[in-house]
Amino acid sequence: MADWEELAEALADYMISCNSNERLRKMQRDWSRTLHFVCSDNGTTFSMEVERGEILSTPEGHVGIPDIVVSTHSETFCDMFWGDLNPVQKYLRGEITVRGSQEDVMRLDAISAVIWPDA
Amino acid sequence: MPDSNAKRQALEQFATFINPQKVRVLKAAGLDIIEAERSGPWVWDVDGAKFLDCFTSAGSFNVGRRNPRVVAAAHAAVDHLDQGNFLLCSQAKAELAAKLAEITPGELSCTMFGSGGGEAIDFAIKLARGSSGRPGIVSAVNGYHGHTGFALSAAGRASFRQPFEPLMPGFVRVPFGDLDALSAAVDEHTAAVLLEPIQGEGGIVMPPPGYLAGVRAACDRAGALLILDEIQTGLGRTGRWWASEHDGVVPDVMAIAKSLGGSLVPISATVFTEELREFLIPNPFIHLSTFGGSDLACAVALEVIAVIEETGLVEHAAAMGERLFAGLHAIAAARPEVITEVRGRGLMAGIQYAEDSLGPRMSYHLARHGVLAIYSGNLPSVMRLMPTLVIEEEEVDFLLAALEEAIEDLVSGAGPEAAAPTRPRRRPVRAAGWAAS
């Protein structure tokens, strides 16, 4: 089980990877979303604010009205944000649940594919 | 001969020269199928795996894949025809247009050919605007009519439209099935209402009883045209030649495509009344298509229609549909936690799952049991089942058995195994999650 401190570390790494990736920023320039995350094992919640492809913040707790809500084990979130697993496989096993549009789910996977091409 | 190397190479080339993310998504979903042999209702992956094709390129293979009669007609056509000069008159075009006038309802009697469904819809909208002098087009939320200019403007899914806006002005969308909303939207500025008689991509959404007749009446009151998109629903798919027959409604313009090409050639047709053709009399060259209604494609399409007529395929689709729906309803009753509704007509079935992720997940599990079925793009919680119309009883039973087994796998938590990492993990060593995940 990962605590908030470790999740925050993973999120910070993810945010730097995304925001410093010019290719990704260009690809995602039409994507502005509020994402909510729920850790199914320890109840930790956090948010991500994306504005025209740039991750603006990843605060603890739920902030704003979500376009997408993603739920899974805290360990899976950490591995996902560090690019140590392919989230689609977890999704297809029912271990990651996503409420939101299918396009947004695919965007999340595309982000992973661009910043972690070997995941 | 199964060839896994051919598969790997095809996927690599596809990723390099077409789209890597498409390969990644399909691989993850267990749908990285490279079609090799195809026959009747079946298709084989290049690695030898066999699938009952229940996607059929969104209903494009009504007469089966590589139907022997249609293949023979194509061979015969290739022996003495080519695409033909689009600007000239053509015997093949004339014969197919005459046949379409015979098999379409009411006063539909004139045809403009195209090469795909979007082109057929584009012309239908051009004809409506050109003949009426009105700009307005009313379509449905979650409707799907293709990705070309006018057709995209009518699309009911915002994510298809938004990256390309501004699109054509004058388009309004109303909820499908809400006659009051549609009636309020149709007025003296409306050139046409454009609808699918059953929404396909939208999730096999049935029109409420009396809805299409009410739409027809609303159009008539406002002097607007009714365009019905029978691209997925037509040519016997629902157990009638046209899905709109179930509702006793005749449109002013009908768009036909997909299965008209017999799984071999691209062709579409926009069929309309003689009254609407008046617009084209002083404008005979106002809409042209190099490949639309090529001589080769017309020869194939004529044979497709002959196969449907002479083998009783429409009635067969109705009978197989009854068997399919009986089985689907039984499975739904036994698995209410997974399936909340079954809907459709003939061999156009939609399985409404309990939540969105079950569409992609069931596509994965069905593929493991030899069924190729894809969820609806506009409503991922719905699985579309649109097998070929040549499907037989034992194949319907195969599909139902596969569905039961796939649901078993789903509820047991089966799914794709994570591949072993091929490089050092990025996550710092202090974390203990790698092994667990």
- Read off the pLDDT of residues B316-343 as tens digits, 9 standing for 90 and up: 999 999 999 999 999 999 999 999 999 9
Rounded Cα distance, B353 and B343, in Å: 12
Q: How many domains does chain B have?
A: 2
Average pLDDT over residues A15-44: 93
- Across the A:B interface, residue pairs with CB atoms under 8 Å apart total 91
Residue A102: what pLDDT?
A: 75
Name residues whose C-beta falls within 8 Å of residue A79's C-beta, 6 or more positions apart in sequence.
Answer: A85, B427, B433, B434, B437
- pLDDT band at residue A116 using 50, 70 and 90 as cut-offs: confident
User: Average pLDDT in the A75-80 region?
Assistant: 92
Of the pLDDT bands very low, low, confident and very high (cuts 50, 70, 90), residue B84 is: very high
Q: Per the domain annotation, does B401 fall within a domain?
A: yes
Cβ within 8 Å, pair B21-A113: yes
Contacts of A6 in chain B (CB under 8 A): 431
Looking at per-residue pLDDT, the higher value among A8 and A106 belongs to A8
pLDDT for the residue numbered A109: 81
Query: Is residue B434 pLDDT above 60, yes or no?
Result: no
Query: Residues B245, B366: one domain?
Result: no
Q: Please give, rounded to a whole number of angstroms, the shortest distance from the CA of B202 to a CA of chain A.
A: 13
Q: Which helix (H) or strand (E) holds A35?
A: strand A33-39
What confidence tier does B437 reach under pLDDT thresholds 50, 70, 90?
A: very low
CATH number (domain holding residue B109): 3.40.640.10
B427/A82 Cβ within 8 A: yes
B120 near B268, Cβ under 8 Å?
Answer: yes
Nearest CA in chain A to B360: A92
| Cβ contacts of A113 on chain B, cutoff 8 Å | 20-21, 24
Q: Tokens representing A93? A: 């096993």
The pTM assigned to this predicted structure is: 0.92
The continuous run of DSSP H or E covering A25 comes out as helix A22-27
- Binned at pLDDT 50, 70 and 90, residue B436 comes out as very low
Residue among B367, B328, B362 at smallest CA distance from B345 = B328
Which of A52, A68, A70, A84 is the best mutation test for B, with the most CBs of B within 10 A? A84
| Confidence band for A115, pLDDT divided at 50, 70 and 90 | confident
Q: Before B208, cis peptide (omega within 30)?
A: no
Neighbours of B399 (CB within 10 A): 25
Q: Does B63 fall in a domain?
A: no
Q: Does residue B49 share a domain with residue B26?
A: yes
Neighbours of B51 (CB within 10 A): 23
SS3 of chain B: CCCHHHHHHHHHHHHHHCCHHHHHHHHHCCCCCCEEEEEECEEEECCCCEEEECCHHHHCCCCCECCHHHHHHHHHHHHHCCCCCCCCCCHHHHHHHHHHHHHCCCCEEEEEEECCHHHHHHHHHHHHHHHHCCCEEEEECCCCCCCCHHHHHHCCCHHHHHHHCCCCCCEEEECCCCHHHHHHHCCCCEEEEEECCCECCCCCECCCCCHHHHHHHHHHHHCCEEEEECCCCCCCCCCCCCHHHHHCCCCCEEEECHHHHCCCCCCEEEEEEHHHHHHHCCCCCCCCCCCCCCHHHHHHHHHHHHHHHHCCHHHHHHHHHHHHHHHHHHHHHHCCCCEEEEEEECCEEEEEECCCCHHHHHHHHHHHCCEECCEECCEEEEEEECCCCCCCHHHHHHHHHHHHHHHHHHHCCCCCCCCCCCCCCCCCCCCCHHHHC
Pick among 3.30.70.330, 3.30.1050.10, 3.60.20.10, 3.40.190.10: CATH of A4-114 = 3.30.1050.10
**What chain B residue is nearest to A113 in terms of C-alpha separation?**
B21
| Cα B59 to Cα B258: distance, rounded to the nearest angstrom | 7
CA A110 – CA A87 distance, rounded (Å): 10
Bridge partners (DSSP) of residue B195 are B228
Domain boundaries, chain A: 4-114
Does A84 sit within 8 Å of B421, measured CB to CB? Answer: yes
Instruction: Look at residue B435 in the predicted model and tell me its pLDDT.
Output: 44
Span B172-200, average pLDDT? 98
Burial of A67 per CB tally in 10 Å (0-12, 13-18, 19+): middle
DSSP 8-state symbol, A85: S
Q: Which chain B positions have a beta carbon within 8 Å of A26's beta carbon?
A: none
* B20 neighbourhood in chain A, CB within 8 Å: 113
In this predicted structure, the answer to whether residue B12 has a pLDDT above a threshold of 90 is yes
Query: Has residue B242 been placed in a domain?
Result: yes
Res. B164 pLDDT band, cuts 50 70 90: very high
Structure ipTM: 0.84
Establish if B361 touches chain A: CB-CB under 8 angstroms.
yes
Distance CA B18, CA B9 (A): 13
| CB contact at 8 A, B350 and B362 | no
> Would residue B317 count as lying in a domain?
no
**Greater pLDDT, B428 or B237:** B237
B408 or A82, which is more confident: B408
Tell whether B193 is covered by a domain.
yes
How far is Cα B204 from Cα B321, in angstroms, rounded to an integer? Answer: 14
Q: Would residue B99 count as lying in a domain?
A: yes
Residues near B427 by beta carbon (within 8 Å), at least 6 away in sequence: A10, A78, A79, A82, A84, B433, B434
Q: Does the distance separating the beta carbons of A85 and B431 come in below 8 Å?
A: no
User: For residue A84, which residues of chain B lie inside 8 Å, CB to CB?
Assistant: 421, 425-427, 434, 437
User: Percent of chain B scored above 90 by pLDDT?
Assistant: 88
pLDDT at position A118 is: 64
Asked if B21 is an interface residue toward chain A (Cβ–Cβ < 8 A), one would say: yes
> What is the distance in angstroms between the Cα of B362 and the nearest Cα belonging to chain A?
9
Average pLDDT over chain B reads 94
Question: Do B106 and B182 belong together in one domain?
Answer: yes
Both B219 and B99 in a single domain? yes
Write the Ramachandran bin of B46: left for phi over 0, alpha for psi from -120 to 50, otherwise beta: alpha
| pLDDT at residue B247 tops 50 | yes
Q: B284 and B388, same structural domain?
A: no
Residues B223 and B120 in one domain: yes
Nearest-angstrom CA–CA distance, A55 and A51: 6
B28–A86 CB contact, under 8 Å: yes
Q: Quick one: B98 and B193 in the same domain?
A: yes
**Same domain for B355 and B235?**
no
What SS3 state is found at A91?
helix
User: Would B95 be classed as within a structural domain?
Assistant: yes
Task: Select from B137, B142, B177 the least CA-distant residue to B153.
Answer: B137
Residue B410 has pLDDT above 90, yes or no: yes
pLDDT in the model for residue A33: 94
Distance from CA of B305 to the nearest CA of A (A): 37
Give Cα separations from B74 to B32, B78, B302, B389 (angstroms): 29, 6, 10, 20
Question: Any chain A CB within 8 A of the CB of B435?
Answer: no
B364 contact residues in A (CB cutoff 8 A):
92
What Å distances lie between residue B116 and B10, B120, B181, CA to CA?
Answer: 26, 6, 30
Among the ranges given (B2-6, B40-44, B257-261), the one the predictor scored with the smallest mean pLDDT: B2-6
* Chain B residues in contact with A118 (beta carbon < 8 A): 422-423
Say what percent of chain B tops pLDDT 70.
96
Nearest by CB to residue B361, choosing from A92, A113, A118, is A92
CB B415 within 8 A of CB A92: yes
B288 plus B266 within the same structural domain = yes
B338: CATH = 3.90.1150.10
Contact list, A99 vs chain B (CB under 8 Å): 356
Check residue B27 and give its pLDDT. Answer: 86
Q: CA-CA distance, B320 to A5, in Å (whole number)? A: 58
**Separation in Å, CA of B346 to nearest CA in chain A:** 28
Angle (CA) B26 B19 B423, round 5°? 70
Q: Are residues B189 and B269 in the same domain?
A: yes
CA distance linking residue B253 with residue B251, whole number of Å = 5
Judge whether residue B282 has pLDDT over 60: yes
A28 contacts A107 by C-beta, under 8 angstroms: yes
Chain centroid to Cα B316, Å, comes to 20
Verify that B156 and B285 share a domain, yes or no.
yes
In a mutational test of the A interface, the residue from B409, B429, B437 whose CB has the highest number of chain A CBs within 10 Å is B437
The pLDDT value given to residue B30 = 85
Q: Enumerate chain A positions whose Cβ falls within 8 A of a Cβ in B.
A: 2, 6, 9-10, 13, 30, 73, 75-76, 78-79, 82-86, 88-95, 97-99, 101-103, 106, 109-110, 113, 116, 118
Chain-chain contact of A85 with B437 (C-beta, under 8 angstroms): yes
Q: Could you give phi then psi for residue B135, rounded to 5 degrees?
A: -95, -25
pLDDT value at residue B46: 95
pLDDT the model gives residue B304? 98
First to last CA, chain B: 38
**Paired tokens of B212:** 């299409």
Q: Two tokens at B370?
A: 């030899």
Substitution target in B162, B357, B374, B378 with the highest count of A β-carbons within 10 Å is B357
- Percent pLDDT > 70 in chain A is 97
pLDDT of residue B430: 60
H/E stretch holding A98 reads strand A97-99
Q: What is the pLDDT of residues B350-391, one digit of tens each?
A: 999 998 889 989 999 999 999 999 998 888 899 999 999 999
Q: What is the DSSP pairing of strand A68-72 with strand A97-99?
A: antiparallel
Structural domain of B15? 4-54+330-409
Domain annotation covers residue B422: no
Q: Is residue B287 located within the same domain as residue B191?
A: yes
